[in-house]
Amino acid sequence: MNKLSKIFLGIIIILLVILGIMTVSYFNMKKVAIENFNQVLESAQEKMNLYKKISELEEKNNTTNMTMPNSNVTVVNNTVSQNEIPEQRDDSIDIDKVTIEVDKNSITPTSVSIIITNNNENELTYGEEFKIQKKIDGEWRDLNYLPNTIWNAMAYITKGNSQTNKKLNIENYYGELENGIYRVVKPVFDGNIYSDEFEIE
């Protein structure tokens, strides 16, 4: 056998070996794929059976209560609709239950202290802004703010069934008050809250 024939025979042997390896690999992969497919089918069948049992139990117990035998525990079946909206918390405030009282010992032409009483269960939220009204000819009239008046964007809270003391710097927003009868107006989310009247002499 010459050299060329030996080379050709060697190539054929190598090709046969490669073909054998590929054939074995193919059948192994096919076997693994079939096993995985069967496992998926079994898992899907188990889930279907479980879902069927759950559906049967739900139908059986839809409108009935179950009592555990030999025990004092009663399991009540409550069916909740998917479209049911959860109950929302009521954070509303009745401003008629909020009062503002002027501290009579704090009254000056430039400032006054007020006591905010919140008789609601919920907390009261309000800003820094306040107004001063003056009684003129028996009617309450708003005083004009000083030019370029700016209120800080701050939020204050008076908790439910509690009081808050707050000093109002009247001079910064109105200047010095003249003699007369006044009251404080506090804007809140649901309207205005009015204080009792006070006098500058």
pLDDT tens for each residue of 142-196? 999 999 999 998 899 999 999 999 999 999 999 999 999 999 999 987 789 999 9
Is the pTM higher than 0.75? no
Q: What is the pLDDT of residue 84?
A: 56
| pLDDT band, very low/low/confident/very high, at 74 (cuts 50, 70, 90) | very low
Interatomic CA distance for residues 42 and 46, integer angstroms: 6
Domain count, the chain: 2
Structure-model confidence comparison of residues 82 and 21, the more confident one: 21
85 is a domain residue: no
Of the pLDDT bands very low, low, confident and very high (cuts 50, 70, 90), residue 63 is: very low
Tokens of 105: 């010992």
Residues 146 and 174 in one domain: yes
Picking from 47, 76, 105, the residue at the C-terminal end of a domain is: 76
Confidence of residue 57 (pLDDT cuts 50, 70, 90): confident
Q: Which residue shows structure tokens 């059948």? A: 27
Residues 6+ apart with CB under 8 A from 174: 132, 143, 144, 145, 146
Task: Kindly state whether residue 86 falls inside one of the protein's structural domains.
Answer: no
Alpha-carbon span 119 to 102, nearest angstrom? 17
- What average pLDDT does the structure give for the chain? 82
Give pLDDT, residue 73: 39
Return the exposure string of 76-106: e unless at least 16 CB atoms fall within 10 Å of the residue's CB, then b: eeeeeeeeeeeeeeeeebebeebbbbbeeee
Taking residues 66-74, report their average pLDDT.
42
- Quick one: pLDDT band at residue 44, thresholds 50, 70, 90? low
Domain that holds residue 13: 3-76
The strand order across the sheet containing 162-169 reads: 98-102, 111-118, 162-169
Q: For residue 8, name the pLDDT band (cuts at 50, 70, 90).
A: confident
| 100 shares its domain with 162 | yes
Identify whether residues 173 and 114 lie together within a single domain. Answer: yes
